[in-house]
Amino acid sequence: MPASTAKKPAPPTVLIVDDEPLIRWSLKESLLEAGFSVADAPDGRGALEYFKLDGPAIDAVLLDLRLPDVDGLSLLDRIKLAAPDVPVILMTAFGTPETLEAALTRGASVTVTKPFSVDDMVGLVSRVLHQFES
């Protein structure tokens, strides 16, 4: 039987933006194991590099609210301006109800309170991406 010449679609790429190396690492390992492609950044500046014209296509973002160089809501605004159709999951250990509501109003797909289960986050990313494909 001849080998198929059809290319498999590339796995979705998830950008993890968090200043905590352990959180980035654990999310990255779990997402890779689940078949995703993963990019990561420790701060807002690094995250925005992925949204330049020649950067890799980002299909979803896991964004920490508190970053060392920028407010997470401001970064959310900039990501949504650069890539309005990319779902953003906002993660925080410090969110007030008002902050979480503001994130949703400004375009976050969902907010998640830390600490969270890494396995739950992988499932959440899958569900959010599926919703955006529909």
Render pLDDT for 73-94 as a digit per residue (tens, 0 to 9): 999 999 999 999 999 999 999 8
Q: Is residue 55 part of a domain?
A: yes
Beta-sheet strand order (sheet of 60-64): 37-41, 13-17, 60-64, 88-92, 110-113
Mean pLDDT of 9-14: 91
In a domain, 8, yes or no: no
pLDDT tens-digit profile of 85-123? 999 999 999 888 999 999 999 999 999 999 999 999 999
If you search the block for the tokens 């194991």, which residue do you land on? 33
Number of folded domains that form the chain:
1
Give domain status of residue 2, yes or no: no
Domain that holds residue 112: 13-133
Q: What is the CATH number of the domain that holds 117?
A: 3.40.50.2300
Alpha carbon 25 to chain centroid distance?
14
13, HSE (Cβ side, Cα atoms, 13 Å): 11
Establish if 5 belongs to a structural domain. Answer: no
pLDDT in tens, 31-81: 999 999 999 999 999 999 999 867 678 999 999 999 999 988 999 999 999
- 100/89 Cα distance (integer angstroms): 11
Predicted local distance difference test score (pLDDT) of residue 2: 52
Judged by DSSP in three states, 28 sits in helix
Whether residue 54 is contained in a domain is answered as yes
Rounded CA-CA distance 61/73 in Å is: 13
Q: Please indicate whether residue 132 or residue 89 has the higher confidence score (pLDDT).
A: 89
Determine contact, residues 30/119, Cβ cutoff 8 Å.
yes
Q: Residue 7: which pLDDT band, with cuts at 50, 70 and 90?
A: confident
The model carries a pTM of: 0.91
Is it the case that residue 3 has pLDDT exceeding 60?
Answer: no
| Preceding peptide of 2 cis, ω within 30° | no
Confidence of residue 134 (pLDDT cuts 50, 70, 90): low
3-state secondary structure of 122: helix
